[in-house]
Amino acid sequence: MERFEEILTKYNITKRTNKPNTTFEEAEKIINFKLPNDYKTFALNYSEFEGIIGNQYFRLWDFDEIIGMNTDYRIFEYLPKTLAIGGNGSGEYIAIEQLNDSRLRIVLSPFLIEEEAHIEIGISFTDFLERLENRKEWFE
């Protein structure tokens, strides 16, 4: 079991009962980068999450909502190397961002849709969940 799955199991995250209708290929074609394997494993095996890990409340969207949410919030239009995957309920979204050197990171950013506002909250999906589990504050 992957480390992020151990964390999700600890918090009783509901397992997906069917495969997502949206394919990774569809999303990757729009964002022009490959999604990280740990996030793909999450999307294939868990439908969504809403709750608290550590001290932080957040929601990870169901993978079938991803394209619509990013389109509605105009993220694809303004941030082509960013895929929002959830939010914190306080006007900020959680996203996977591809940096210029092709590394990926998890960021928290206001819905102002400005890359300069991104705050790194993980260097991977697993790291993001581990930081939450270890009660690391987003705004330290």
Q: Is residue 138 part of a domain?
A: no
State the DSSP code for 90. Answer: S
100 in any annotated domain: yes
- Position 5 scores a pLDDT of 85
Residue 123 lies in a domain: yes
On whether the CB atoms of residues 105 and 123 are closer than 8 A, the answer is: yes
Question: Residue 59: beta bridge partners?
Answer: 50, 87
Q: What is the model's pLDDT at position 114? A: 67
Q: Check: CB of residue 118 under 8 Å from CB of residue 107.
A: yes
pLDDT of residue 111: 77
Q: Which of 48-52, 91-95, 124-128, 134-138 has the lowest mean pLDDT?
A: 134-138
**Could you tell me if residue 91 is inside a domain?**
yes
Encoded tokens for 17: 């009962």
User: In this predicted model, what pLDDT tens digit does every residue of 92-116 receive, in sequence order?
Assistant: 999 999 999 999 999 999 877 666 7
- Higher per-residue confidence, 125 vs 111: 125
Can you give the pTM of this predicted structure?
A: 0.84
d(CA 93, CA 110): 6
Task: Please tell me the predicted confidence (pLDDT) of residue 58.
Answer: 94
Query: Is residue 66 in some structural domain?
Result: yes
What pLDDT is stored for residue 47 in this prediction? Answer: 85
Cα 88 from Cα 51, distance rounded (Å): 10
How many domains does the chain contain in total?
Answer: 1
Between residues 80 and 98, which one has the greater pLDDT? 98
CATH number of the domain to which 103 belongs: 3.40.1580.10
User: Has residue 121 been placed in a domain?
Assistant: yes
Residue numbers of the domain that contains 7: 3-133
Name the helix (H) or strand (E) containing 127: helix 125-133
Scan for tokens 């009783």, then name that residue: 12
Do the domain assignments include residue 139? no
Residue 140 lies in a domain: no
